[in-house]
Each structure stands twice: as C-alpha cells, then as structure tokens.
C-alpha cells in the first residue's frame, strides 16, 4: 500500500476525528430517543428503587378479535398460579404484577356549552401507570373507583366542550348518557406521539362503562408489568398463556437497547409491512417510530467508527512492527550478550568452587 505523505496522514486523522465526533453524536441521539416515551418504562416506574426485577409486555389483538373481561380475569388468575408455582412470594400477590387493558372507538360528546364527536380510549386496570399523561386538572381514572361514570378529557376536548381545562366535577354526556369530568390531561408532546396520534379530540373512560354504550365491545390492547425472576420468564409466560390469537406480543422493557435496535436494520424495508391485521394504538406506533430512529442512529454510529477503527488498527500494526524491529535489532542482541556473559560467569564460579587452587 502506498505510504501517505505527512499532509495526507494529517488530513486522514482529522477526518477520523470528525467521524468519531459524528458517531458520538449518533450514540447520544440514540440515548435521548430511547428515553423519550414514558409508556415504555412502566416496569422501571413500578419497580422503583427495589431489588425486584420487573418486565413490561404488551399484547395487541387483530382488528377482528377482542378480549373480554372474563378472559382478562382468567389470565390474571393464571398469573397468580404461575407466580405461586415459581415460589415467588410477597406481602400481596398484586404487588408482583400490574396490568391494564384498553379499547378505542368513537362517541358523541356534549355539554351545556358544546358538542362534537370524540375519539374514546376505554381503559381498565392501571392504565395510567403505563401512560402517565400530564394532568392539567383533576385526577386519573383508577380501578378502585367506586363508580365508573367519570371521564378524563384531553385538552382539545376540554376546550371543545367547556372552553377551559379546570373542569373536575363538571357534568357532560357521552352518547346521551350522563358522565362527570374527572380531570383534563395533556397528550404526549414528543414528536413520535404527536405524529402517531391522529384521532383528534379524545376522551378516556372506564372500560366497563364503554361496554355498556357499545354492546359487544372488547379490549384490543393488554399491557402487563410483572416480576421477572429469570430471563424471559414474563415473555415466555405471556406467549404460553395469553389468548393472543393472531395478534402480536411486544416486550417493551429493553426494546430500545443498542443491540436490539441495531438488529432491526436487517428488517429495513419489510418491518412496516403489516401482515397480522393488528391496528396498533397510537402509543405503539410512536414506539415503533422511535425504534426506527434509534435503529438508524445506531447504524450510523457504528458506520462512522469503521474508518477510525481501521486507521487506529493500521497505526497499531505499524507501531508493533516498529517496536518488534527495534527489539530485534537493538535491545535483544544486547540482552542476549549480557545473558550469555552472566551464564559464563556463573559457570566459571561453579568450576572454581569444584576445583579450588587450580586457577
């Protein structure tokens, strides 16, 4: 290979330095993107600072299938049986897992000040553990609510129906049925969620109340946070026991890890082809968008390091050869001579001890 001039070598090192900086920028972008969506970190929030490991898994059913409350409760019992079979104990079984389910649809909303069609996300379980939307006023809906006639409005619906956001306790109607406003939330403001959410004004309501308004409605999304004593314990259990049908199971915990998103590069061009008939909720579409960007950043982070790595390897090889030549030409002969001289002296002393007076 032709030897580079000093000027060319300097230019090459500058280029390598710029590529390393670009790679660092890509690593930083990946790290920032990976932390963007709170909906993907329910396991970490639930675990807190405790020593118990938790994993988050989501199940998405096809458009022509749904999950009934009986199936959800049956799966909850299966969770408890699995935990007991694994000899996992806690103060209460419910501390070992949290779950939520949801369905989406359209309803007509009205108040004394306004009306319109709104998108509805019907929620059950601890939905807002998984989706900690910012409260502008009031409180979340919870599974422990005595009544299921409370609704949570997003900011756009609050302005549509009431012209404000401080609305806790205000009366309204959905499909002509009376409800009470529990509070108002602000939707996610990150670029992925804003792009993924296209349903317009929205309302969160109890899943039980929604099934009374929409006969035969079922859940299309189920989310679970569960203790994970050994690797893949939760994921394998869900795959085995959850009635997923032709749906899709996603492990949220660790989905943005560098190795995982870098592996998605192999699926470029085919990953967006939907073959299961699953209509993902907007938060999953947002997560997939972030995955794609993380994958792109990871790919370029590695790509930008190839030339600097090759240049460094080439320099190390040259340095090794130079050191080896220096050793063989200068240092090793001197060491060899000194070693041989030391051996001769040692042999001479031994001979003198055995033959005293003969020298």
Confidence of residue 93 (pLDDT cuts 50, 70, 90): very low
Highest mean pLDDT among 139-143, 178-182, 196-200, 326-330: 178-182
DSSP state of 340: H
- How do residues 144-190 score in pLDDT, each as one tens digit? 887 889 999 999 999 999 999 999 999 999 999 999 999 999 999 99
Nearest to 287 by CA among 75, 15, 34: 34
State mean pLDDT over 77-90. Answer: 80
**With the CA atoms of 66, 71, 77 and 80 taken in that order, what torsion angle do they form, in degrees rounded to the nearest 10?**
-10
Q: Among the residues of 149-200, which ranges form H helices?
A: 155-161, 191-196
Flag whether pLDDT at 302 surpasses 50.
yes
Flag whether pLDDT at 295 surpasses 60.
yes
- Give pLDDT, residue 249: 95
Compute how many other C-beta atoms are within 10 angstroms of the C-beta atom of residue 66. Answer: 16
Strands (E), 239-328: 248-251
State mean pLDDT over 252-263. Answer: 92
- How do residues 277-290 score in pLDDT, each as one tens digit? 788 999 999 999 99
C-alpha angle 72/283/140, rounded to 5°? 65
* Spatial separation of the C-alpha atoms in residues 148 and 180, rounded to whole Å: 10
Percent of all residues in the chain with a pLDDT value above 90, rounded to a whole number:
64
- Give pLDDT, residue 109: 95
Nearest to 218 by CA among 71, 3, 9: 71
Flag whether pLDDT at 321 surpasses 90.
no
- How do residues 195-253 score in pLDDT, each as one tens digit? 999 999 999 999 999 999 988 889 999 999 999 988 889 999 999 999 998 899 999 99
* Spatial separation of the C-alpha atoms in residues 184 and 163, rounded to whole Å: 12
- Give pLDDT, residue 236: 94
* Spatial separation of the C-alpha atoms in residues 22 and 102, rounded to whole Å: 42
Nearest to 314 by CA among 76, 9, 7: 9
Q: What is the mean pLDDT of the chain?
A: 88
- How do residues 111-122 score in pLDDT, each as one tens digit? 999 999 999 999
* 57, two tokens: 């898994």
């Amino acid at each position: 290979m032709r030897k580079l001039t000093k000027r060319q070598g300097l230019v090459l090192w500058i280029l390598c330095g710029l590529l390393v900086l670009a790679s660092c920028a890509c690593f930083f972008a990946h790290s920032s993107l990976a932390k963007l969506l709170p909906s993907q970190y329910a396991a970490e929030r639930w675990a807190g600072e405790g020593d118990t490991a938790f994993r988050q898994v989501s199940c998405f059913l096809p458009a022509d299938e749904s999950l009934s409350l009986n199936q959800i409760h049956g799966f909850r019992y299966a969770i408890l049986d699995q935990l007991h079979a694994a000899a996992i104990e806690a103060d209460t079984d419910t501390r070992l897992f949290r779950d939520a389910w949801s369905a989406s649809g359209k309803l007509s909303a009205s108040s004394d000040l306004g009306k319109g069609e709104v998108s509805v996300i019907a929620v059950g379980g601890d939905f807002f553990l998984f989706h900690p939307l910012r409260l502008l006023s009031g409180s979340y809906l919870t599974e422990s609510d005595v009544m299921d006639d409370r609704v949570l409005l997003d900011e756009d619906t609050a302005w549509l129906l009431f012209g404000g956001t401080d609305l806790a306790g205000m009366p309204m109607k959905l499909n002509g049925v009376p409800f009470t406003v529990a509070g108002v939330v602000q939707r996610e403001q990150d670029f992925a969620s804003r792009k993924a959410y296209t349903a317009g004004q929205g309302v969160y309501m109890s899943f039980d109340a929604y099934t009374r308004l929409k006969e035969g409605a079922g859940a299309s999304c189920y989310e679970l946070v569960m203790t994970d004593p050994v690797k893949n314990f939760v994921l394998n259990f869900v795959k085995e026991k959850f009635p997923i049908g032709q749906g899709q199971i996603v492990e949220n915990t660790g989905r943005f890890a560098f190795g995982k998103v870098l592996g998605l590069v192999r699926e470029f061009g085919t990953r967006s082809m939907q073959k299961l008939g699953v209509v993902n909720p907007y938060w999953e579409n947002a997560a997939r968008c972030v995955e794609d960007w993380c994958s792109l950043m990871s790919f370029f982070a590695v790509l930008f390091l190839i030339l600097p790595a090759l240049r460094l390897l080439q320099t190390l090889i040259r340095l090794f050869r130079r050191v080896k030549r220096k050793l063989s030409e200068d240092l090793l002969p001197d060491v060899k001579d000194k070693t041989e001289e030391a051996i001769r002296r040692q042999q001479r002393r031994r001979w003198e001890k055995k033959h005293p007076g003969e020298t």
